[in-house]
Chain A
Amino acid sequence: MSATGIGASIKRVEDLRFLTGNGHYTDDINQLDQSHAWILRSPHAHAKLNSVDTSKAAAAPGVIAIFTGADMAADGVGGIPCGWQIHNKDGSPMAEPGHPALAVDKVRHVGDQVAIVIAETRDQARDAAELIAVDYAVLPAAIDMDTALSGASLVHDDAPNNRCFDWEIGDRDATEAAFAKADHVVSIDLANNRLIPNAMEPRAAISEFDRSTGRYTLHTTTQNPHVIRLLMGAFVLQIPEHKLRIVAPDVGGGFGSKIFHYAEEAILTWAAAKVHRPIKWTAERSESFMTDAHGRDHETHADLALDKDGKFLGLRVATKANVGAYLSTFGSSVPTYLYATLLAGVYATPAIYAEVQTVFTNTVPVDAYRGAGRPECTYLLERLVTKAARDLGMDPVELRQKNMIQPDQYPYQTPVALEYDCGDSPATFASALKASDYAGFEARRGAAEKNGKLRGIGISTYVEACGIAPSAVAGALGARAGLYESAQVRVHPTGSVTVYTGTHSHGQGHETTFAQLVSESFGIPADLVEVSHGDTDQVQFGMGTYGSRSLAVGGPAILKACNKVIDKAKKIAAHILEADVSDIEFADGKFTVVGTDKEMAFAEVSLAAYVPHNYPIEEIEPGLDENAFYDPLNFSFPGGAHICEVEVDPDTGHVEVIDFTAVDDVGRVVNPMIVEGQVHGGLAQGVGQAVLEGCVYDADGQLLTGSYMDYTMPRADDLPNFSVSTQGVMGASNPLEVKGVGEVGAIGSPPAVINAIIDALSPLGVTDISMPATPNKVWQAIQASSVRQAAE
């Protein structure tokens, strides 16, 4: 056990550079002789490209080159690929229309790429882009999902009725049988509002081509540099890996939106070899709004069958999910395997059937955003269960407790493919009820009433699946890649260590947490460990950071490499200490011959490995540097309970989140300080989704929420201090016993907030509020409420 090992809230290694302005984000980097790019984007949601005339722009001051989709097509550049193939109910594959990096014949959403202008300065590139004459023949836009499904206007000619796929999971017959014998059926219709991720750092990239070696380098704001190298190199530009280096330096937040291979990365890399100059591009925030993949956007009808005592018998779900204009990298997996496989939630519902239709529309592609499918699922379940309690006159706490999977039922096979390895929902729920003083709520409601406020309390109990993913399972479900992780642990001659990980840190603090793993394993201080990530020339391979996978999948890879180091070091120590290797023990950073005082420190063995003067050279190669790949046995299943209290001002409809209590089971906690911070951030995104944020397109496909003037980001004075704690059942599916924490806050919290608002308004007869619960929406609900109507 090391003082800087697992369980220690050590301060972050990353902070010094960020606090002093010495971070290296992509836009902070400049290359010698660099040029600048501006991307001309479509102002229309849907239009035929009759012609793109660049002649006037090409003559503008400073312009180096202008390229259009026709130029890329002439070079045989491939389309942007999707990483996950879903099959329809009839077994046929999903519709997978082409996605050219620069539009060729049509533009399909506002912001779609039409041309790239490369100039000496960014302003010159931007000025010249305004001189490009594009002849658009505007077509009717398919914006809302129902209009799109009518097929009146096709986003892609090869996707009839704009349907991407029509997919199902679960046992339909068993579920229908459950409904046939039900005493009660409770139904709900709800939408999961579309969100715009808004990592604070806009996307950016710098491409270079070295004509003397034929090598390309791309610095880009990505969460997974090796995935970008694979997708762009193999499928879009046909550049072999040894000629393509991807660097993700410091990245200012991702939340999923920087997983995907974006068109700009391919356009810039391709163009660098045309102009023989480095090219830099940085998105303006308005470009982020109209080109970063959006999140959520589901419409769902669901029915819950219960017996007379309130036991859940069956769940039936029909969801429409918007995938936007093109299939983004994981766009097809989010509304299917990351969503409907969790429909059991924390409940022992015996029969579940879900069908999901996905729809192309003339909007920005929709893909994974913090939680990715699991927030949509949790919101549905926890709204539905709360509604069931209200409709049947039951206590929402008791109804949940009655139906929860009990600790002795793990491993628990759900009716929708997943097997939960471990958990204890009743325990986290009990702790959250206590921590929030749930029992004392009615007194607080009464006190608020005296102040003219409507106070409400809302519950969400959830489980999620993360640690993506066991490769065989993911492959069987349609993933086109394995989702293991790799690590290299390089011990240097004097005993310091560099860890190379295929995950990427963009706020999560891996440089600290992963150093703690090595500190624990080798019994050395964490400050002797450096974590390297983000450069495909340094790290052998990796699948990156998303789906709360870094510690759950990347962590065990590091542990495995550490164990290989220890195994080899034991052999070296045995030779030097003249003992049998089976008699060597390693603990607290020392190799000891059992039962003797003969010992060697970790650093002494390291030195012997590199200065092998007294060394078993016939049996072991010199050096102490090991690689490992780790593939998890199962997903990991964090869960917990979130309880929210709000006060509504009935005169204005303003909702104030007064208290928020979260008790989360994330398995073993490596750095409690970092874990709490991750939960805080997730909760803020969940509260944001519930009361503030919502993407709005008009019927023509213009993005009405295209800036921070229009899209309501959570601000400091919108949020309370959060009460967060962790309470764990140690993870069963990986040797670190960790589960993942990056998304739990965003997954569990939105229904707690909305349930609290509905509870606050329930004395007025309000039974439903959709997200985001803006003051206008709440005020309108109050005006329309049955109690208000009766009074007037």
Chain B
Amino acid sequence: MPTVSMTVNGKSVSAEVEPRTLLVQYLREHLGLTGTHVGCDTSQCGACVVHVNGESLKSCTMLAGQAEGADVTTIEGLANGDDLHPMQEAFRENHGLQCGFCTPGMVMSALDLVKQNPDPSEKEVREWLEGNLCRCTGYHNIVKSILAGAEALRG
């Protein structure tokens, strides 16, 4: 089995995996980073969004081997010790989560949006979230959270 190495949340990691292993399986099953979730099998739900080399990506759409040498950030890599990242804090403050299953993907996706568009409109947030499904919140408070998170990050 090939060895796949990359940097995840600032740490160098390496694991022997079957060639068919997806990045999300590598994170969950080989590294034990279970904050990244699997909600579908057709790359629609967005529960598995992580950052690969600074861009958001559904980690079920990439083989672990394709991420060889990449710099990966997962939901576990956002908070600074006990201090939540401002986007995480915005979700908490605005009740942007209920069951929590879609939440890591929502937060990781939102961060890429505000990186590209630091001051998005509500419509832009809703359109950006096309690839992230939530069944609990009706998106109302997720949108509110992302707008608040964007504002906090603008400072």
Contact = CB atoms under 8 A, between A and B. Distances in A.
Interface in B119-140: 122-123, 125-127, 129-130, 132-140
B125 A709 contact: no
Nearest to A686: B138
Contacts of A282: 38
Contact of B100 (A18, A677, A681): A18
A23 B36 CA distance: 10
A677 B95 contact: yes
B37 A507 contact: no
Contact of A250 (B40, B100, B130, B136): B100
A680 B98 CA distance: 11
Interface string A371-390: 00000000000000000000
A558 interface: no
A15 B122 CA distance: 23
B42 interface: yes
A22 B35 contact: yes
B75 interface: yes
A21 B75 contact: yes
A355 to B, nearest CB: 34
Given A15-B97, A285-B42, A677-B95, A717 B140 contact: no
A673 B98 CA distance: 11
Interface stretch (A99-107, A194-202, A433-441): A194-202
Contact of B99 (A11, A199, A673, A716): A199
B45 interface: yes
A286 B33 CA distance: 24
Contacts of B18: 123
A285 B133 CA distance: 13
A272 interface: no
Contacts of B125: 716
A714 B44 CA distance: 12
Interface string A174-216: 0000000000000000000000001111100000000000000
B23 interface: no
B137 A680 contact: yes
Contact of A509 (B98, B129, B130): B98
B34 A21 contact: yes
B141 interface: yes
Interface in B92-114: 92-93, 95, 97-104, 107
A627 interface: no
A722 B141 CA distance: 10
Interface string B68-104: 0000001110110000100010011101011111111
Nearest to A198: B135
A707 interface: yes
Contacts of B41: 284-286, 707
B12 to A, nearest CB: 20
A251 B99 contact: yes
A15 B99 CA distance: 9
Given A253-B136, A677-B137, A507 B100 contact: yes
B137 to A, nearest CB: 6
A507 B101 CA distance: 9
- Interface size class on chain A is 35 or more
B99 to A, nearest CB: 3
Contacts of A745: 138
A289 B20 CA distance: 25
A509 B47 CA distance: 20
B52 to A, nearest CB: 17
- Interface size class on chain B is 35 or more
A342 B138 CA distance: 26
Name which of A21, A508, A708 has the most chain B CB atoms within 10 A of its CB. A21
A708 B107 CA distance: 21
B143 interface: yes
Contacts of B98: 253, 507-509, 677, 681
Contacts of A18: 97, 99-100, 103
Contacts of B137: 677, 680-681, 684
Given A123-B20, A722-B140, A200 B97 contact: no
B130 A716 contact: yes
A6 to B, nearest CB: 18
Interface string A671-704: 0011011001111110000000000000000000
Interface string B46-59: 01000000000000
Nearest to B20: A123
A708 B84 CA distance: 32
Contact of B45 (A28, A200, A677): A200
Contacts of B139: 680, 684, 714-716, 719
A367 interface: no
Contacts of A684: 135, 137-140
A709 B43 CA distance: 9
B118 interface: no
B20 A16 contact: no
Contacts of B101: 23, 25, 199-201, 252-253
A9 to B, nearest CB: 8
Contacts, number: 179
B74 A21 contact: yes
Contacts of A28: 28, 34
Given A25-B37, A123-B20, A201-B101, A19 B44 contact: no
B92 A15 contact: yes
Contacts of A614: none
B92 A683 contact: no
B135 A253 contact: yes
A47 interface: no
Interface in A495-525: 506-509
B38 A11 contact: no
B92 A12 contact: yes
Contacts of B100: 14-15, 17-19, 23, 250, 252, 507
B9 to A, nearest CB: 10
A507 B18 CA distance: 35
A680 B140 contact: yes
A286 B107 CA distance: 25
A533 to B, nearest CB: 14
Nearest to A19: B88
B139 to A, nearest CB: 4
A27 interface: yes
B129 A199 contact: no
A45 B20 CA distance: 31
B76 A200 contact: no
A716 B142 contact: yes
Contacts of A19: 75, 79, 84, 88, 91-92, 97, 100, 103, 107
Contact of B40 (A253, A708, A715, A721): A708
A330 interface: no
B35 A507 contact: no
Nearest to A287: B41
Contacts of B129: 715-717
Contacts of B37: 25, 200-201, 252
A253 B37 CA distance: 13
Name which of B42, B97, B100, B143 has the most chain A CB atoms within 10 A of its CB. B100
A270 to B, nearest CB: 26
B87 to A, nearest CB: 9
Contacts of B141: 677, 680
Nearest to A283: B41
27 contacts: A15-B91, A19-B79, A19-B88, A20-B88, A21-B104, A23-B100, A23-B101, A201-B39, A251-B99, A252-B39, A252-B99, A253-B136, A284-B41, A509-B98, A680-B139, A680-B140, A680-B141, A683-B138, A684-B135, A684-B139, A685-B135, A685-B138, A708-B45, A713-B135, A716-B129, A716-B132, A719-B126
The 8 closest A-B pairs by CB, nearest first: A21-B35, A18-B100, A252-B101, A684-B138, A507-B99, A708-B44, A507-B98, A28-B34
Given A676-B95, A721-B143, 19 more contacts: A12-B92, A18-B103, A19-B75, A19-B92, A19-B97, A20-B75, A20-B84, A27-B38, A250-B99, A252-B99, A282-B38, A507-B136, A673-B95, A677-B98, A681-B136, A707-B44, A717-B130, A719-B139, A721-B140
